[in-house]
Structure formats: C-alpha cells, structure tokens
C-alpha cells in the first residue's frame, strides 16, 4: 500500500521505516530539513537499535523516501500523523500546535476515501475535533495510538502487543478499520489483537496505559520510601508481590523513577484534560504519582550527601548515565541529569558519562562536565552514582576494577541494578534505593 507518515521524529521515523520493512511504499514527511536529509541518507537522527538497518533496507529497495514537501502525501491510501505533542510551556496540558499544523498542511492533498491515522498522543476529544476538519475532503480519520518503547521501537512497531483503531460510527469507520487492518497485515495475521473502538476510547487507551505504568513505578517507589524507614528491602518486596500474576514484576523497578518524553508529560496532560472535563478528582492521584517520582531524584542526591558525611563541596561524584533509560540517547526529563544537576548545585565536581547520550546532554546542560570514557569518570571519584542501568555499568563493570580507580569506594545504586553482594565483597559501601 502507499502510505505517508507526517512527522519524522521518534514515532514517525520508526513508523515509516517499519512500514516499509513490511512491504509498504512509504514517504516520510517532516518540516525539519536536517532530519529529512539524515533519514534520506539512512542515518537515524537518534539512537534506536535496528533503525539504521531498516532505513537502509527500505531506501535501497526503493520502498522508503523522505521529503519536506507535504505534496508528496498525495496519492497515499493512508496518512499517519506522528508529530510530537509536548507539554505546553508554563502549563501541564499538551501542546497541539504540531498536530493542527500537520492536519492543515495535509488537507489540500487528501482525496475522498483516504484514511488519516492519528498516532500522536493527544488529549481525549482531539480526534472528534480533527475529524470535523477533515470531513469536507471525504477522507476518514482513525485514531491509532502508538505504544512503542524507546530502545525497542522497531520491534514494538512491527510486532505490537495490540493494535487499537478508534473510528467514527457507520460504514466509513468500518471501512477505515479494514484498511488499517491491511496496513498491519503481518501483525494481524499472526494474531495480534486488533481493537476497533470509538475515538474517545482509542485516545484514552493510550493515556490510560501510560498513566498505569507511571502509577506502577511510583507505587513501588512509595514502597521504597517506606522501606527506607523500616529497614525493608524494596527489591525483595517487588519480587515477592510480582509473583502474583495479577500484579506482575515488570515496571516494579524502584529507583530514581521515570522520565523521558512520554510518561511525565502524558500524566500531566491527562490531569489537565480531566480538570477541563470537570473530572480532575478522578485522576488526582496522578499528581501524587508525579510528586513521588520527582521526590526520588532528590532522595538520590541526599543519599550521596549523606554518604559523604553531609557535604559535597570539592568532592568528585561520578554520575553513570545521562539518558532517561538504557538503549536510548534521549535525555528529555531524564532523572539521571536531574540528579547530576542537583549534585552540582550542592558544590560537587560532577562528571557524567553515558554510552549514547553525552552529545545531547552536553548541549542541554553546558554547566555539567562529561567524560566519554567510563574509567575517566571513575578516576579519583569520592562517590559513584548509577542513574541509568546500561549494561556497561550493571553487567560489564567489574566492581574490583572500579574500586581500584576511585578514591573512595562508595556507590549509590539509583536503579537498584547492581549486584550488591559482589560490590560489597569488592570493598564498596553499596547503597541501594529502598534497600537496607
């Protein structure tokens, strides 16, 4: 099928390449000429495992191209909208400027029977409004939220765990759902659930999923706070409750909490939208989820201060990690960098290292010092804090070797990802979050 993908950021670039990899003829469109140039040369503008490979394959096979010209969308059967919906400046609500601009630009190129498939994360009610704008063209709007995780984006797009299509009632909606089923044929044929619903439900599925995940993380971090005053071990607690299949162990990783371009802004936008709808109290707990999450960053800073007898002045602290999670160079709302800034603000000489995110971090945080080399970051450190659980720090870092590099073998495990027994055996003072 001929497809267009409008917006070639994280979501759109991966979607375009993944759709080409399953055989469609795809054009990716973005207003950012630099991004388009990079993608046209099969260069991923961000770190995402597997993306370069499918970009190269798609471009070489003649199935994938990128352009800044929105007119290239004309003739595609389905137009995916994958632009960003960041948090508004000075507010919690989502900024829909890019979605509105994409729809406005696309409208002149739509033909009767086309399907416009919205993938961006939007406040409930947006699809209804956009559908009215599109209606005169004879195209049909479908809301088709995306659930990909950064670091696993290619796999999540090609083999999603579910597909959701919010459609208008009536034959146009059913026809549009069938077209979307064809787009995702390989996944649908292999049994991936394909849920056809209304716009509001489709929009809410997305924000509800992220709100639930954020709540799960903050729940276990709240338990970590209780563990800290009782001597309990939150990791064992998570293991034990996680055996209950109704609860499940995933997303019960206590530590410095969630960040990134999705969970934090999505729970805030959800709260803001619920308040507009007169139902703020229904999701009032999300404010608490946010507050617990942000407290954990402060707690991690305090743990370093306490470990260094109350002062960071002229102390070198090695911060291992900058990305909001491993397998990503994304530093949006990264807890790792918040911790680094907090330590620096208290007078520490902070050296941050990361396998993928240093360039992004150095651009956004010129006040911090960076080392590309892990050993250089560790050299002479008075304390080490692990804030992103890259394998390089978790699995591949030998605590005996690391102990020989630092001045003072103190490690704060901000992701509860180190083997406490091995680190202690190597002579380290090991401090986990919510662990004795």
Residue with Cβ nearer ligand UGA (94 or 139): 94
Identify the bridge partners of residue 384 per DSSP, sorted by sequence position: 318, 411
Q: How far is the CB of 121 from ligand UGA (least distance, A)?
A: 6
Q: Does the active-site annotation cover 8?
A: no
Tokens of 402: 């690391």
Q: Which part of the chain contacts ligand UGA (CB under 6 A), choosing from 40-48, 245-253, 378-386, 399-407?
A: 245-253
Answer yes or no whether residue 213 interacts with ligand UGA by CB under 6 A: yes
User: Which residue from 13, 64, 148, 223 is in contact with ligand UGA, where contact means CB under 6 A?
Assistant: 148
Answer yes or no whether residue 147 interacts with ligand UGA by CB under 6 A: yes
179: number of Cβ within 10 Å: 19
Q: What's the CA gap between 378 and 316, in Å, rounded?
A: 9
Answer yes or no whether residue 325 interacts with ligand UGA by CB under 6 A: yes
Q: Which of 18, 93, 214, 262 is catalytic?
A: 262
Is the distance from CB of 98 to CB of 106 less than 8 angstroms?
no
Q: Which part of the chain contacts ligand UGA (CB under 6 A), choosing from 90-98, 210-218, 362-370, 397-405?
A: 210-218
Residue with Cβ nearer ligand UGA (255 or 399): 255
Q: Which residues of 59-81 are buried (b: 16+ CB within 10 A; e: fewer)?
A: beeebbbbbeebebbbebbbbbb
Answer yes or no whether residue 210 interacts with ligand UGA by CB under 6 A: yes
Coil, strand or helix at 58: helix
Q: Which residue is nearest to ligand UGA (CB)?
A: 253
Burial of 394 (0-12, 13-18, 19+ CB in 10 A): middle
Answer yes or no whether residue 99 interacts with ligand UGA by CB under 6 A: no
Answer yes or no whether residue 285 interacts with ligand UGA by CB under 6 A: no
Q: What's the CA gap between 18 and 22, in Å, rounded?
A: 7
Coil, strand or helix at 97: helix
Q: How far is the CB of 394 from ligand UGA (least distance, A)?
A: 12
Residue with Cβ nearer ligand UGA (84 or 168): 84
Answer yes or no whether residue 260 interacts with ligand UGA by CB under 6 A: yes
- Within 8 A by CB and 6+ apart from 108, the residues are none
Q: How far is the CB of 334 from ligand UGA (least distance, A)?
A: 7
Answer yes or no whether residue 259 interacts with ligand UGA by CB under 6 A: yes
Helix or strand (DSSP H, E) at 164:
strand 163-166
The residue written with tokens 């498939």 in the block is 117
Q: How far is the CB of 93 from ligand UGA (least distance, A)?
A: 16
Residue with Cβ nearer ligand UGA (58 or 257): 257
The residue written with tokens 């979501």 in the block is 11
Tokens of 350: 């902070």
Q: Which residues are catalytic?
A: 262
User: Applying CB under 6 A, which residues contact ligand UGA?
Assistant: 121, 146-150, 210, 213, 217, 251-253, 255, 257-260, 262-263, 324-325
């Amino acid at each position: 099928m001929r497809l267009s993908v409008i917006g070639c950021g994280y979501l759109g670039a991966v979607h375009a390449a993944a759709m080409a990899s399953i055989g469609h003829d795809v054009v990716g469109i973005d207003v950012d000429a630099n991004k388009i140039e990079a993608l046209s040369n099969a260069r991923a503008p961000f770190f995402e495992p597997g993306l370069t490979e499918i970009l190269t394959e798609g471009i070489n096979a003649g199935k994938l191209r990128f352009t800044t010209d929105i007119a290239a969308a004309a003739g595609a059967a389905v137009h995916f909208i994958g632009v960003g919906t960041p948090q508004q400046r000075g507010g919690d609500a989502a900024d829909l400027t890019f979605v509105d601009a994409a729809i406005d630009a696309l409208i002149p190129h739509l033909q009767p029977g086309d399907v416009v498939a919205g993938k961006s994360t939007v406040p409930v009610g947006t699809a209804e409004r956009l559908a009215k704008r599109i209606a005169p063209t004879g195209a049909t709007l479908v809301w088709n939220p995306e659930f990909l995780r950064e670091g696993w984006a290619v796999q999540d797009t090609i083999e999603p765990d579910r597909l959701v299509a919010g459609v208008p009632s009536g034959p146009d909606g059913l026809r549009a759902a069938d077209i979307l089923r064809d787009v995702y044929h390989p996944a649908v044929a292999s049994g991936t659930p394909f849920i056809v619903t209304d716009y509001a439900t489709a929009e809410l599925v997305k924000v509800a999923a992220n709100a639930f995940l954020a709540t799960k993380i903050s729940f276990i971090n709240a338990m970590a706070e209780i563990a800290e005053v009782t001597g309990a071990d939150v990791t064992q607690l998570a293991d034990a409750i996680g055996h209950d299949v109704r609860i499940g162990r995933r997303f019960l990783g206590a530590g410095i909490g969630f960040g990134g371009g999705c969970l934090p802004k999505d729970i805030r936008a959800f709260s803001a939208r619920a308040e507009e709808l007169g139902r703020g109290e229904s999701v009032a707990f999300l404010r608490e989820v946010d507050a617990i999450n942000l407290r954990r960053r402060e707690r991690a800073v305090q743990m370093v201060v306490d470990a260094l007898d109350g002062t960071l002045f002229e102390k070198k602290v090695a911060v291992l990690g900058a990305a909001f999670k491993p397998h990503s160079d994304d530093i949006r709302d990264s807890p790792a960098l918040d911790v680094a800034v907090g330590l620096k603000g208290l007078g520490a000489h902070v050296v941050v290292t990361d396998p993928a995110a240093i360039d992004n971090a150095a651009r956004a945080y010129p006040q911090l010092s960076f080392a590309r080399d892990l050993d250089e970051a560790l050299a002479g450190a008075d304390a080490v804090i692990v804030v992103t659980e890259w394998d390089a720090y978790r699995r591949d870092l030998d605590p005996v070797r690391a102990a020989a590099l630092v001045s003072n073998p103190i490690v704060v495990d901000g992701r509860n990802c180190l083997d406490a027994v091995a680190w202690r055996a190597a002579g380290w003072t090991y401090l986990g979050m919510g662990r004795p």
